[in-house]
Structure 1
Amino acid sequence: MDWYLKVLKNYVGFDGRARRKEYWMFTLFNVIVSIVLAIIDGMGGFMTDSGIGMLGLLYSLAVLLPSIAVSVRRLHDIDKSGWWLLLILIPLIGAIVLLVFAVMEGTRGDNRFGPDPKSDEDGVPALA
């Protein structure tokens, strides 16, 4: 939950880097909340004529900007520009490439986007 809140607090922070744990914990929490909201939408009759649940739609809109921001910071961690996120516009192949990027280990040490998020204040890599 702390990782999720960290991303939400930095919802317009496109600068810096996001480690894998931050990205994937945010994604996991989003999936869980989306499933719960889909169940509530289905049981509570909150579905629109197009079959989209109102609660799920509102939640998706609320986390759209934080999701983009953490994705850009994740790309920065592997020393890629945030513009690589536009690969999602290429059907199937773009999503696969971005998935591979998301699971890659970040650049050790500083890169052009900032300091290593795994290191502490002294610049010594943390164990966990």
Structure 2
Amino acid sequence: MTFTGAVASVLRQYATFDGRARRSEYWWFTLFYALVYGLPYLVGTLLLAGATDPVTGQPTSPGALVGAFLAFGAAGLVALGLLVPTLAVSVRRLHDSGRSGWWYCISFVPFVGGLLLLVHMVRESDAGPNRFGPDPRAGLVAAPPAPAAPSSVSFAYGPGRTLLPGDASR
């Protein structure tokens, strides 16, 4: 699955918690989320760092503070807008490895919960159908090999006349 295909698939299934999600779909969407959320957050952090005096911590640039506030607000809106599809694709990814979506709650256990969830997200999918649905990879077939290139190129000029590359009679 490609980056754009994964993002489109997850956003199309915005609040679909049943079924399965392939590993590539989950990780491409995770990268999308990190980029879309991380960019305004990074801009806000840089603006905030430039808007305060490093020694006293007092504001030095009100415009930069407003910019940081707007950037953090944008990051918050992205996080809020992508909360449901992020949870949905996570649950479908757990389903793909044969686990209930309730396993997502293990991420709330301090220190080890996030690591255990990461292990489950990285694991190989169950081959074939499982209790959550058919294998999402089952519909994929290898692309047929490309046809071989012709050994010589010919161009037809009129009925019965063929001009070969390098032919002097034009």
Please give the range of the TM-score, normalised by the shorter of the 2 chains.
Answer: 0.7 to 0.9
Which structure 1 segments of 5+ residues have no match? none
Q: In the alignment, residue 16 of structure 2 is paired with which amino acid?
A: G
- Listed one character per residue, the Cα deviations across residues 21-60 of structure 1 (whole Å, up to 9, x for unaligned) are 0000000011111222123434461427xxx810000000
For 1:1-128, list aligned pairs within 5 A: 1-42=4-45, 43=47, 45-47=67-69, 53-120=72-139, 126=141
Say which one has the larger Rg.
2
Mind listing any 5+ residue stretches in structure 2 that lack a counterpart? 48-63, 144-170
Cα RMSD between the aligned structures? 1.9
Distance in 2 (CA, whole Å) between partners of 1:2 and 1:38 is: 25
1:85-119 deviation digits (Å, cap 9, x = unpaired): 00011012110000000000010000000000011
Alignment length, in residue pairs?
Answer: 121
Structure with greater helix share of residues: 1
Q: TM-score, normalised by structure 2?
A: 0.66
Provide the TM-score with structure 1 as the length reference: 0.86
Partner Cα separation in structure 2 for residue 72 and residue 93 of structure 1: 19
Moved over 2 A (4+): 39-44, 125-128
Query: Which protein has greater RCO, CA pairs closer than 8 Å, 6+ apart?
Result: 1
